[in-house]
């Protein structure tokens, strides 16, 4: 199904300067989380980083995916495919990480890619329904099939069912917050569109500290959509594209090599 052209025009597109900072922050916090979990000796007592700094990465990644899908691309499905390719490359080293369970779990790129594809598909369906190109019966059938797919896929991807909802809910909230309007009704609608994301973000973790970091990160991302993004300056040292694309699978491969050399993969 062709992806809808949802990119904003130059006049309405908000500044994306913050994503340059977000890329570095996401990679650093993710790497700290994984290093403390898989590499640092238990005697160092670094487990607290996973429930604090480590909880910044996923909502930040999801926010950047949603932001680019809304404001910086005309083909979100192609964008989703690029993320999926990174996930496919990263899956083998990801599976080598020590885990409590032996169950197959697909890495975070599958979560982000599926969430983005789901959002693009639903937006296209709703636009076709509004143009009366799709009947109510077919829309209901699509909704049912979508729910079944979400229930099934949520058992296989990292961050599960709630993780799959993050990109769609970010896109919903960012769209309304960036076009909030001037009337009280329009502003209340924009705020109400942000609440589901914050609720899901709060439910994603078990500890209070982890919940706080995830919700706080999500809230900052939503504030950017209200207009705060225009106050963020361009980053001085832009991340090289190749580094951005290679870091996720590469850092897992490096950790797997380290664990193999030290006997951690035993």
Q: Is residue 194 part of a domain?
A: yes
Q: Is residue 3 part of a domain?
A: no
Cα angle: 156, vertex 100, 31; to 5 degrees: 80
Q: Is residue 73 part of a domain?
A: yes
Rounded to two decimals, the pTM is: 0.90
pLDDT tens, residue by residue, 170-221: 999 999 998 877 777 777 888 899 999 999 999 998 889 999 999 999 999 9
Q: How many CB atoms lie within 10 A of CB 193?
A: 18
Q: Please give the pLDDT value at position 266.
A: 56
Confidence of residue 2 (pLDDT cuts 50, 70, 90): very low
Cα angle: 231, vertex 82, 65; to 5 degrees: 30
Q: Is residue 1 part of a domain?
A: no
**CA separation, residue 264 to residues 40, 49, 54, 178, 254 (Å):** 11, 21, 22, 47, 13
Q: Quick one: which of 38, 47, 36, 32 has its CA closest to 100?
A: 38
Number of structural domains the chain divides into: 1
Helix (H) / strand (E) containing 177: helix 160-178
Instruction: Give one DSSP letter per residue of 222-252, joined into a string.
Output: HHHHTTGGGGPPPPSSPPPHHHHHHHHHHHH
Task: Report the C-alpha gap between 194 and 219 in whole angstroms.
Answer: 9
Q: Can you tell me which residue has the tokens 């995916």?
A: 65
Q: Which domain range does residue 206 map to? A: 17-261
pLDDT tens, residue by residue, 70-93: 999 989 999 999 999 999 999 999
Task: Report the C-alpha gap between 15 and 135 in whole angstroms.
Answer: 38
Q: Is residue 51 part of a domain?
A: yes
Q: Is residue 266 part of a domain?
A: no
Q: Is residue 2 part of a domain?
A: no
Q: Is residue 207 part of a domain?
A: yes
| 229 touches 18 (CB < 8 A) | yes
Task: Report the C-alpha gap between 263 and 266 in whole angstroms.
Answer: 5
Q: How many CB atoms lie within 10 A of CB 236?
A: 6
């Amino acid at each position: 199904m062709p992806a809808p052209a949802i990119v904003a025009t130059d006049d309405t597109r908000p500044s994306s300067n913050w994503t340059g900072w977000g890329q570095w922050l996401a990679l650093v916090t993710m790497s700290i989380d994984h290093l403390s979990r898989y590499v640092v000796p238990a005697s160092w007592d670094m487990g607290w980083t996973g429930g604090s700094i480590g909880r910044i990465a996923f909502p930040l990644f999801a926010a950047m995916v949603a932001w680019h899908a809304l404001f910086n691309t005309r083909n979100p499905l192609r964008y989703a495919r690029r993320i999926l390719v990174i996930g496919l490359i990263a899956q083998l080293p990801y599976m080598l990480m020590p885990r409590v369970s032996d169950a197959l779990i697909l890495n975070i790129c599958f979560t982000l890619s599926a969430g983005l594809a789901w959002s693009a598909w639903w937006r296209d369906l709703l636009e076709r329904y509004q143009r009366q190109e799709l009947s109510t019966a077919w829309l209901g059938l699509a909704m049912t099939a979508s729910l079944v797919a979400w229930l099934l896929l949520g058992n296989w991807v990292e961050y599960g069912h709630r993780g799959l909802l993050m990109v769609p809910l970010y896109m919903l909230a960012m769209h309304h917050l960036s076009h909030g309007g001037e009337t009280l009704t329009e502003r209340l609608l924009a705020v109400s569109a942000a609440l589901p994301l914050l609720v899901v973000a709060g439910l994603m973790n078990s500890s209070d500290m982890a919940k706080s970091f995830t919700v706080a990160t999500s809230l900052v991302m939503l504030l950017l959509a209200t207009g705060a993004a225009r106050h963020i300056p361009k980053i001085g040292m832009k991340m090289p594209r190749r580094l951005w694309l290679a870091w996720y699978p590469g850092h897992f491969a490096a950790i797997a090599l380290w664990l193999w050399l030290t006997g951690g993969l035993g």
